[in-house]
Structures are given as C-alpha cells and as structure tokens.
A = this chain, B = another copy of it.
Amino acid sequence: MDDIRIIELKESVIRDNDEEAEVLRRELKKNGTCLVNLMSAPGSGKTSMILALREFLEGKLRWGVMEADIDSDVDAGTLFSAEIPAVQLHTGGMCHLDAGMTRQGIEALESEYKDNDGFDLIFLENIGNLVCPAEFDTGAAFNMTILSVPEGDNKPLKYPLMYEKCDIMAVNKIDTLPVFDFDRQKAEQYAKLRNPELKIFYISAGTGEGIKALAEEIINRVNNWNRRGQ
C-alpha cells in the first residue's frame, strides 16, 4: 500500500442509533476487538497522543486507528508515515460519527489490513468537536476525551455531556502548565461533577510524560474487554 486509504462515509439510514450501536458492540466483543471512541476539541492532541502511545502498545496488541475528519488526510497521513495501521474517514461535512458510520470505517480498516488478522484495539479518532460526537453512541467499548491545558479548566462546565459520557479524561500538554492559567484541581472538580467515576490522567504527548500510565490503563481495559468477549 503506497497511500493512505480515504473512505467517504455514507450517511446512515438506520433510525435507531442506540440499537445499532449495541449490535455493533456485541459483534466487536465476540470478535475480540475493543473499540475506543476518542473525542475532544480541535487541536487538543488526539493524533499526537496516539503517536505517543505507540511505543507502549506495539508488540502487545494488534491495533489500528480510524481518523475521522470532515476533510483532509493530514492526521491519517501522519499515522501512516509512522507505520501505524490507519484509514482516513471523511464524513462529508457531518459533525460526528454514529454507529453505522463507525461500522463502515471498521470494515474498511479490516479489509485494508487483512494480514493483521483482526484488531485487539481500534481507536476511532472522532471529529474535533466537544458537542455533537458525545450525543451518538458509536458502539465503542469505552469513550475517552482529551482536555488540553491551553483550552482552560472550565470546559467541563460548558460541555457537560462530553464529560458525562467519557470513562477516561487525559489532560494533555501539561508541559505548558507554567504558560497558561489552568487549575488542575478545578478541572478535576468540574469534570467529576459530570462523572464521579471519570479516570483522569495527566500527560504530555510532546514530552512523553504520563503516557506509560495511560497506555497501561488502556491495555488493561482492552484485555478485560476481550476476555469478557470469550
């Protein structure tokens, strides 16, 4: 394969997304594939975090990435250059992915990387948007969000559903804490108002700080999920 594959997603014709998401989740569990729905604001570091996780995931899991964007292939291109199995999904202007669109992406990723013989872990890098993606169940085993330090500590107050729906929050770009007015305690407090069970990790995708602990959490969740699937 010489170039990243770009898949133009078709709008789903399914009326009940929640039902479709449950069906997809059951199928993935049966196949031993843990789908992680990664959501955040634009530019908070979704692709950089995935790149930083690579050294801790390689050799432990068969993993791949679906990069969803309205346009362009910059993110998938970045992963492709780093030899991470990836496809680029184009949503045709749509602001989120639903379960039907996610299914199209998984089928494309699996068909593109047939030699992989399946995936233990697939990241869906959702559209950079703190609003709409949180409203649609994609069929993921769990949801994850990134809050980057430059965005400010008050985002969980303004975009409540995102934090309610996520199991893990990675606070990224912590190497820039000295430059920005960001209060870790406030960020935690606001996020846990929405979801007391939220697990929080402090990372810098740039310097690598905190990435190992996050990778271990992800690997544990993948292993638990796939065991339960048997």
List residues of chain A with CB under 8 Å of any chain B CB: 41-44, 69-72, 74-75, 93, 95, 127-132, 135, 148, 150-152, 154-155, 157-161, 173, 176, 179-180
Interface pairs (17), CB distance under 8 Å? A41-B41, A41-B128, A42-B151, A43-B151, A43-B152, A70-B158, A71-B158, A72-B158, A74-B154, A74-B157, A93-B161, A95-B95, A95-B131, A128-B130, A129-B129, A176-B176, A176-B179
Contact between chains at B71 and A160 (CB < 8 Å): yes
Instruction: Please report the C-alpha to C-alpha distance between residue A75 and residue B151 in the assembled complex, in whole angstroms.
Output: 14
Residue of B nearest to A182 (CB): B43
* Residues in B whose Cβ lies below 8 Å from that of A129: 95, 129-132
A44 to B44, CA, bound (A): 11
Question: CB-CB < 8 A to A160: which residues of B?
Answer: 70-71
Q: Which residue of B lies closest to A93 (CB)?
A: B161
Report whether A131 and B43 are in contact in the complex, using a CB–CB cutoff of 8 Å: no
Q: Which residues of B contact A152 (CB under 8 A)?
A: 43
Measured CB to CB, the closest approach of chain B to A4, in angstroms, equals 14
Chain B residues with CB below 8 A from A135, complex form: 93
Closest CB of chain B to A145's CB: distance in Å? 11
Give Cα A180 to B127, complex, Å.
Answer: 22
**Contacts known (A128-B41, A173-B150); A158 close to B93, Cβ less than 8 A:** no
Return chain B residues, CB-CB under 8 Å to A179. 176, 179
Is the beta-carbon distance between B74 and A159 smaller than 8 angstroms? no
CA distance A151 to B159 in the complex (A): 18
Q: A72: which B residues are within 8 A, CB to CB? A: 154, 157-158
Among residues of B, the one whose C-beta sits closest to the C-beta of A40 is B42
Residues of B within 8 A of A44 (CB): 151
A179 to B175, CA, bound (A): 9
A127 (CB) vs chain B CBs: closest residue: B131
CB-based contact B155/A42 at 8 Å: yes
**Neighbour of A159 across the interface among B70, B158, B180, CB < 8 A:** B70
Q: In the complex, what residues of B have CB within 8 A of residue A71's CB?
A: 157-160
- Looking at the assembled complex, report how far the CB atom of A172 sits from the nearest CB atom of chain B, in whole angstroms: 10
Say yes or no: A158 contacts B128, CB within 8 Å: yes
